[in-house]
Amino acid sequence: MINWLPRYLFNFVAFVLIQVLLLNNLQLSTFMNPYIYVLFIITLPFSTPRWLLLILGFITGLTLDIFMNTLGIHASATVFMAFLRPFVLSSFSPRDGYEPGTLPVPADYGFGWFFKYAAILVTTHHLFLFFVEAFSMADFFSILWKSILSALASLIFIFIAMLFARNKSGTL
């Protein structure tokens, strides 16, 4: 993992900058807010310890909260997603486990596997984020609709990023 530190530090900075400078200023609709910064947690190596996942999730979310002035909402949602990641990975693991040296990216396990994995994590992140943001069940269906549309928009941007990374270097 220490060998990959420069790559993941670059990914962290790149995803946060793309989120803050581009996607936060993109007006798709009032119900669509794409968040690509979650890709940082999604693409961490399989061998990342759970405690480190939670810390990195907190740092990633807190960084977004600082830029977006949202008082811990992104930090809590990203920590929740980082908490769920090992359970989602274990539910999709091959019979013999994951190959050493591989990453949870489409280049190693295919787009079908990555789509299921990313869709579950992104959807749970968005549901948690928007329900905590609203802090009410009064508009349950509008929050659910916003979560689903935002998750779809986020997945589209994530797959564009993954295709771009695949064409440039082979892996993210």
Q: Which residues contact 78 (CB under 8 A, 6 or more apart)?
A: 37, 38, 41, 57, 58, 60, 61, 64, 125
Domain boundaries, the chain: 2-14+25-169
pTM of this prediction exceeds 0.85: yes
What pLDDT shows up at residue 167?
Answer: 58
Residue 49 has pLDDT above 80, yes or no: yes
- Banded pLDDT at 4 (limits 50, 70, 90): confident
Mean pLDDT across 74-101: 91
